[in-house]
Amino acid sequence: MRLLITGGGTGGHTYPALTTLAALQRRGIPHDVLWVGTANGLEARITAEHGIPFKAITTGKLRRRPNLRELGTNIADLFRIPLGVCQAIGHAARYLPDVVLSTGGYVAVPIGVAAKIIRRPLVMHEQTTVVGLANRILARLATRIALSHESSIEHLPASVRDRVVITGNPVRPELLHGNKAAAYDFFGLTFEVPVVYVTGGATGSLQINTLISELLPRLLPHAQVVHQCGPAWIDQMRAIELPPELAERYHPLPYVGKELPDLLAAADVVVSRSGAGTVSELTAVGKPAVLIPLIPTGGDEQRRNAAYLAEHGAARALLEPKPTADMLLAELMPLLSDPGLRATMAEAARKLGRVDAADALCEVLLETARAIGK
């Protein structure tokens, strides 16, 4: 099977495609792959690290409510988009894939158009509860539309809903097999109080780091905290003055890498953003969470994701644009003091998770490729 992958810009678009490709490789299905993205997107680095053939195209993003500075960028991008479509058609026509997988981002639109022009089937995958603008465009061109959430169907035109399949959002399989004891040894944790894992993403979050720094003196008597604060914040977070008996319960670090599966296994509660990838991972491993969505995002995606989990009892959510440390503590304390509540929330999260999402998306790709070959 010849597979052309497009999608990227951020980890939310890049990693689902990478995880699906890994699932395809685990099945031992003979395949050839080409990834088309942007030269400065995350996908360029990830494909290089994994030895995946990669071609770059030019593309642009149309900002629906541009400010004065962005207006000029919008005009420039109007000229980049046709160039990107021409480049995409060239790459797709030379490669002639059996099927195209698009995982979103503006780079996916030119490839989707190219797939339609050269009559190759397109499988479009949406990670978020709200279908983004790029994927609303691609939905009209797609052969199959793979969604992570059933609630996303209402955001699609009625004319394409018969092409929908619910696969879930692929998560890295290693996250499902963490070793709790290894995390306790690595981070120097104890069994005296629950473990809270705080993360604002790989680069950290000013908002979350500020909330945690204000909260620590009141939080640490009840919990130990492993805090991924980001490389730019590590010195500042390490410099926080805490009583000696509490200081040993706080573990700030710039980045969590290969230790993440073990840390998730050890965490009793997670404090994090609510991007599509984060939400998929938390539900796949079944972790109680307090979600602090990034506001604003396109389509208010993160706040909708957080509200969706909260409505199903799988998380607590701070949906206000400017939550306070008192608000965060009020959401955390019931979870820290009640193991039964944590267990109930963990079970609710697992019910929303799809640990088989990558395999389900693989199956859609194979079925679509077979259908075109008949």
Question: Hey, where are the domains in the chain?
Answer: 2-170+355-373, 174-352
Model pLDDT, residue 132: 80
The per-residue DSSP string of 97-131 comes to: -SEEEE--STTHHHHHHHHHHTT--EEEEE-SSSP
2-170+355-373 classified as CATH 3.40.50.2000: yes
Residues of the chain with pLDDT under 50: none
| 287 neighbors 264 (Cβ within 8 angstroms) | yes
Model pLDDT, residue 69: 58
Q: How far apart are CA 71 and CA 68, in angstroms?
A: 5
Angle of helix 339-352 relative to helix 276-285, nearest 10 degrees?
120
Tell me, what DSSP letter sits at residue 175? G
Model pLDDT, residue 89: 97
Model pLDDT, residue 311: 96
- Cβ count near 303 (within 10 Å): 22
Q: How far apart are CA 168 and CA 5, in angstroms?
A: 18
Identical fold between 2-170+355-373 and 174-352: yes
- Cβ count near 202 (within 10 Å): 13
pLDDT tens per residue, range 306-357: 999 999 999 999 999 899 999 999 999 999 999 999 999 999 999 999 999 9
Tell me, what DSSP letter sits at residue 115? H
Model pLDDT, residue 64: 54
Q: Which fold has domain 174-352?
A: Rossmann fold (3.40.50)
Burial of 339 (0-12, 13-18, 19+ CB in 10 A): exposed
